[in-house]
């Protein structure tokens, strides 16, 4: 199969897969059928296709620019990822189905496993939080077993069919970056932010939970981080406030034909907001289930950041630069929109009942996630370079994540708390670049940049680049060594 043909087919398959995930998440469909879609496009996940592409790349004219060669590599790795997905899709679907239907018994009451994170967020009674968390132990054990099976099977193929010794080497090659060097950079980040974080965290552990550093358990985290301890309310619905924020910046969501918000109430809708870029840039949907919590508006802004990025992606870019980039590139723009809601100037306009302590609390939440993911980068680069995961994983996970966050991370979660393909690296790089972008926007357009049309003109220019540049390359391109 030729390069051009692969791109053409990929665009159609992406549309079908993303539409499927939209329908499932929006509560419009019950049973996932990703396997059938992958089957229909089986040529894309065929190793012969990868071989064809490698041959075609070798036959490129010697003057072919690096960009062209890199585009080939991205397409080749996309085929390899699809090859792995197809080999593990039945296992993954079984795991997903189990997770969706699993139930726990807490104090004589039956609760769907999927609802527990939301319930933990609102639960003020610490003992009950502990019982809820502990009741999930058998489900976590089963999910760990299934996930280990998916990873084992993937590792076998990565070794036998692709020739990489372990998952670390495979993903590092796929991301075209030295992930170990990045992990060491994350180690520096943890050391540099230790003092600030420890002070912030100790304050909020005490204020919200009445506990000290070293006393907080994983089951306290959802309640601690949700902000339910604060009585902050919004002066309107999440969606109206989002639209009004962007309207002040000259972006009218209602007039964007290609970007829709699905905020209809459906019983089976996913409790978490998400963005479905079905056809980039022509059909992008942001799905929300309004619930009234402050953290929801932050999530909605996050997903709309993805939405705007994809909806403003330049249509004339190649399939590679619209679809086959690093996930971290889009996360820069989702974080950028999300953190608008942490700004005092924004809170002044749209929220009530907040104070300086609340602003510091949001800073704490931000630093918590950055440090948690920095520790995950360290953990995953070490763990996935080996294959004795069950032996070393639990202790390493517990130590690294607990030390970085001050919250005890239970060793039993060492495998379920991990996303395929070093998502942790992409998140961390996106945070790093977003911090620089936000600083640049404030310096250039003022601290209330999010209400200024010129700021969005600038952002539109960045969104239009699609996923052409990985996060760190985008930063280098924008600011060189003089990063803000
Ligand atoms: Zn995101």
Centre of ligand 1 to C-alpha 332, Å, is 8
Find the 470 Cα to ligand 1 centroid distance in Å. Answer: 15
Going from the Cα of 111 to the center of ligand 1, the distance in angstroms, rounded, reads: 28
Tokens at 41, concatenated: 């496009």
CA of 305 to the centre of ligand 1 (A): 8
CA of 65 to the centre of ligand 1 (A): 32
pLDDT of residue 67: 93
This prediction has a pTM of 0.96
Query: How far is the centre of ligand 1, averaged over its atoms, from the C-alpha of 195 (Å)?
Result: 28
- Expressed in angstroms and rounded, the spacing between residue 293 Cα and the centre of ligand 1 is 19
Could you tell me the distance, in angstroms and rounded to a whole number, from the CA of residue 151 to the centre of ligand 1?
Answer: 23
424 alpha carbon – ligand 1 mean position (Å): 12
- 215 Cα to the center of ligand 1, angstroms: 30
Beta pairing partners, 112? 103
* pLDDT for the residue numbered 328: 97
Question: How far away, in angstroms, is 118 Cα from ligand 1 center?
Answer: 19
> For residue 32, what pLDDT is reported?
86
Ligand 1 centroid distance, CA of 334 (Å): 6
| 484 residues of the chain, pLDDT tens digit each | 999 999 999 999 999 999 999 999 999 998 888 989 999 999 999 999 999 999 999 999 999 999 999 999 999 999 999 999 999 999 998 998 899 889 999 999 999 998 898 889 889 999 999 999 999 999 999 999 999 999 999 999 999 999 999 999 999 999 999 999 999 999 999 999 999 999 999 999 999 999 999 999 999 999 999 888 898 999 998 999 999 999 999 999 999 999 999 988 888 888 778 999 999 999 999 998 766 667 789 999 999 999 999 999 999 999 999 999 999 999 999 999 999 999 999 999 999 999 999 999 999 999 999 999 999 999 999 999 999 999 999 999 999 999 999 999 999 999 999 999 999 999 999 999 999 999 999 999 999 999 999 999 999 999 999 999 999 999 999 998 888 8
Long-range contacts of 193-199 (CB under 8 A, 24+ apart): 193/367, 193/370, 193/371, 196/367, 197/364, 197/367, 197/368, 197/371, 197/406, 198/406
Q: How far is the CA of 303 from the centre of ligand 1 (A)?
A: 6
pLDDT at 291: 65
Distance (angstroms) between ligand 1 centre and the Cα of 49 equals: 31
- Asked if 9 and 43 count as a contact pair (C-beta separation under 8 A), the reply is yes
Query: Ligand 1 centre from 160 Cα, in Å?
Result: 33
The rounded Å distance from CA 1 to ligand 1 centre is 33
Between the CA of 33 and the centroid of ligand 1 the distance, in Å, is: 24
Q: If you measure from the C-alpha of residue 336 to the centroid of ligand 1, how many angstroms do you get, rounded to a whole number?
A: 10
């Amino acid at each position: 199969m030729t390069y051009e043909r692969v791109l053409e087919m990929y665009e159609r398959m992406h549309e079908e897969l993303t539409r499927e995930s939209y329908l499932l998440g929006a509560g419009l469909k019950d049973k996932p059928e990703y396997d059938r879609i992958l089957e229909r496009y089986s040529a894309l996940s065929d190793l012969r296709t990868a071989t064809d592409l490698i041959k075609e790349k070798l036959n490129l004219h010697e003057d072919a620019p690096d960009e062209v060669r890199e585009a080939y590599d991205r397409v080749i790795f996309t085929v390899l990822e699809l090859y792995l997905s197809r080999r593990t899709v039945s296992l993954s679907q079984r795991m997903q189905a189990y997770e969706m239907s699993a139930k726990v018994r807490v104090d004589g009451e039956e609760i769907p496993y999927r609802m527990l994170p939301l319930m933990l967020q609102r639960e003020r009674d610490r003992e009950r939080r502990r019982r809820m968390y502990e009741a999930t132990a058998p489900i976590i054990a089963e999910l760990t077993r299934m996930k280990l099976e998916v990873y084992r099977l993937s590792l076998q193929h990565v070794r036998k069919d692709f020739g990489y010794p372990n998952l670390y080497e495979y993903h590092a090659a796929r991301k075209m970056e030295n992930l170990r060097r990045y992990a060491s950079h994350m180690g520096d980040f943890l050391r540099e932010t230790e003092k600030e974080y420890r002070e912030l965290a100790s304050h909020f552990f005490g204020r919200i939970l009445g506990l000290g550093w070293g006393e907080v358990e994983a089951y306290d985290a959802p309640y601690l981080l949700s902000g339910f301890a604060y009585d902050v309310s919004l002066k309107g619905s999440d969606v109206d406030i989002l639209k009004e924020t962007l309207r002040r910046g000259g972006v009218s969501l209602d007039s964007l034909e290609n970007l829709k918000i699905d905020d209809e109430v459906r019983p089976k809708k996913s409790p978490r907001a998400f963005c479905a870029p079905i056809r980039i840039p022509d059909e992008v949907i942001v799905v929300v289930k309004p619930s009234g919590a402050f953290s929801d508006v932050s999530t909605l802004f996050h997903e709309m950041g993805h939405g705007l990025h994809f909806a403003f992606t330049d249509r004339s870019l190649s399939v590679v630069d619209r679809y086959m980039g690093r996930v971290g590139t889009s996360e820069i723009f989702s974080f950028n929109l999300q953190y608008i809601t942490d700004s005092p100037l924004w809170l002044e306009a749209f929220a009530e009942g907040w104070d300086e302590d609340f602003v510091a609390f949001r800073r704490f939440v931000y630093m918590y996630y950055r440090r948690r993911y920095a520790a995950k980068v360290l953990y995953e680069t070490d763990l996935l370079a080996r294959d004795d995961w069950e032996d070393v994983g639990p202790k390493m996970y517990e130590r690294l994540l607990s030390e970085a966050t001050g919250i005890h991370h239970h060793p039993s979660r060492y495998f379920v708390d991990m996303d395929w393909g070093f998502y942790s690296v992409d998140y961390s790089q996106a945070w790093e670049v977003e911090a620089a972008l936000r600083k640049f926007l404030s310096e250039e357009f003022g601290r209330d940049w999010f209400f200024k049309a010129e700021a969005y003109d600038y952002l539109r220019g960045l969104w239009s680049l699609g996923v052409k540049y990985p996060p760190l390359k985008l930063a280098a391109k924008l600011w060189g060594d003089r990063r803000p």
